[in-house]
Amino acid sequence: MKQFKLGLLPKVIIAIFVGTICGKFFPESVIKACVTFSGLFSELLAFIVPILIISLVGAAIADTRSNAGKMLIYTILLAWSSTVLCGIFGYNIADFLIPKIANQVTNVVSNESVEPFFSIKFPPIMDTMSALVLSFILGIGILSKATKVIHGFLQELREIVLMVLDKCIIPLLPLSVFCTFSKMSFLGTASKLIADFLPVMGLCIALTITWIIVLYLIAGAISKRNPFKLLKTMLPAYLTALATSSSAATLPVTLRQAHKLNLAPEVVDFTIPICANIHLSGGMIDVISLTVGVLFMTGGNYELSNFLNFIFMMSFTAVAAPGIPGGVIMIAQGLLVSALGFTPEQISLIIALYISIDAFGTAGNVTGDGALSVIVDNLLKKKAVEKDSIERP
């Protein structure tokens, strides 16, 4: 008789439900234990992500040989185009709807916090962008010099990292989700500020989901597959991102689910880690929509001419943000001041709002990565078919 095994998606849903209920009744000591575990788990994820990027991307470049250059170009162009286009899309919808649905802003409410019993720091060997650059150097170097020793090292490192993900990270994720939602439930989420901006925040979430569907409709049309089946496969990544608010923390699940899309393994191992750092569609929509909302409610100027420069600059400067919960808005602060003339009060307001819905933007980012992987995989297949037909006598 085949043993029943509960999948990751139901585990995450159960963790969210149970954590939300239990957080209302747990004493503070139990919540502190949850916060302690969440902190340690976050440190572990932060430590392993650079190694994950180096092993997967570096080995993928070396393994794909002639396709590496095309794969890199396709991935970067698709991720950047998606980020910029969804920023313009978000602005136009927000510009049309926010004046019709928004309420007057009142004040900024500071969030409470629960301190852990203790914390242990084990910093990553490098940041994610350094790991990404190093993986390119190693992968391209292997292609150029045919270095078998380094190639073998990357392949073995990849096997070790994937084993850690499968045996440790993935099994602990539902517990991490449970702890996160227990803390949120214990602290409570109601505030006057959230109530005032609730329609705008709802619009951000709706726009993020809409863009995800658009990406999967495009991916489905190119691959001639059912887009909603593709999207269903990536749902565990979406739910995990809701709990972690971090593309880097969700990367193991994103990789696992993307491998279930029946794509070339080297394409998944190459595109998903890269997109985790440069594909910011969900975060971009949230920042743009909230920025329009703040400027409208405080009497600022939110003309498209002012926003175009902001959108293009954001598409480049926010590359370092994934992996940091709320990182997009933190990096955007300088641009909000220089490009849109934000005051310190407006900066404080938009940070408070963005943090409240950061998880939905992150979920949009990582779920969209799966659609981009499908598109890259099919573009490479079409190029291979065209090349084969040309070379035949």
Residues 162-201 pLDDT 10s: 788 778 887 887 888 788 778 777 776 434 445 567 788 8
- Cα separation, 91 vs 309, whole angstroms: 13
What pLDDT score does 189 carry? 47
Q: Could you tell me if 277 and 322 are in contact, meaning their C-beta atoms sit under 8 angstroms apart? A: yes
What pLDDT score does 196 carry? 63
What pLDDT score does 109 carry? 38
**C-alpha dihedral over 90, 92, 97, 102, to 10 degrees?**
60
In the chain, % of residues over pLDDT 70: 81
Q: How does residue 385 score in pLDDT terms, banded at 50, 70 and 90?
A: very low
Q: How does residue 372 score in pLDDT terms, banded at 50, 70 and 90?
A: very high
Q: For the chain, where are the alpha helices, taking DSSP H only?
A: 8-22, 28-64, 67-101, 128-145, 148-164, 170-187, 192-223, 227-233, 235-244, 247-258, 265-278, 281-297, 304-317, 327-340, 344-391
What pLDDT score does 212 carry? 94
**Phi and psi (nearest 5°) for 280?**
-125, 35
- Cα separation, 152 vs 63, whole angstroms: 11
Query: In angstroms, what CA-CA distances link 295 with 98, 102, 187, 282?
Result: 11, 11, 29, 20
What pLDDT score does 190 carry? 34
Q: What is the DSSP string of 293-311?
A: HHHHHTT----HHHHHHHH
Q: Is 118 exposed, middle or buried (0-12, 13-18, 19+ CB in 10 A)?
A: exposed
Tell me the average pLDDT across 41-68. Answer: 73
Q: How many CB atoms lie within 10 A of CB 386?
A: 10
Of the candidates 316, 319, 312, the one whose C-alpha atom is nearest the C-alpha of residue 339 is 312
Tell me the average pLDDT across 302-306. Answer: 78
State both tokens at 4: 């029943």
Q: What is the DSSP string of 133-199?
A: HHHHHHHHHHHHH--HHHHHHHHHHHHHHHHHIIIIIHHHHHHHHHHHHHHHHHH----HHHHHHHH
The full length of the chain comes to 393
The predicted-structure confidence for 218-249, as pLDDT tens digits, reads as follows 999 999 999 999 999 999 999 888 877 777 77
The predicted-structure confidence for 82-140, as pLDDT tens digits, reads as follows 989 988 999 999 888 888 876 544 443 334 567 888 878 878 888 766 777 888 788 87
Q: Is 304 exposed, middle or buried (0-12, 13-18, 19+ CB in 10 A)?
A: exposed
Q: How does residue 321 score in pLDDT terms, banded at 50, 70 and 90?
A: low
Amino acid identity, position 242 = L
What pLDDT score does 68 carry? 59
Sign of CA dihedral 64, 66, 72, 75: negative
DSSP 3-state of 107: coil
Q: Give residues with Cβ within 8 angstroms of 265, minimum separation 6.
A: 259
Of the candidates 170, 360, 177, the one whose C-alpha atom is nearest the C-alpha of residue 282 is 360
What pLDDT score does 383 carry? 59
- Cα separation, 58 vs 215, whole angstroms: 27
What pLDDT score does 344 carry? 67
What pLDDT score does 389 carry? 47
Amino acid identity, position 388 = D
First to last CA, the chain: 55
Q: Could you tell me if 265 and 159 are in contact, meaning their C-beta atoms sit under 8 angstroms apart? A: no
State both tokens at 9: 């998606």
Q: How does residue 368 score in pLDDT terms, banded at 50, 70 and 90?
A: very high
- Report the CATH fold assignment for 8-391: Proton glutamate symport protein (1.10.3860)
State both tokens at 143: 């292609």
Q: Give residues with Cβ within 8 angstroms of 249, minimum separation 6.
A: 42, 45, 46, 49, 240, 323
The tally of CA atoms less than 13 A away on the side-chain side of residue 40 is 13
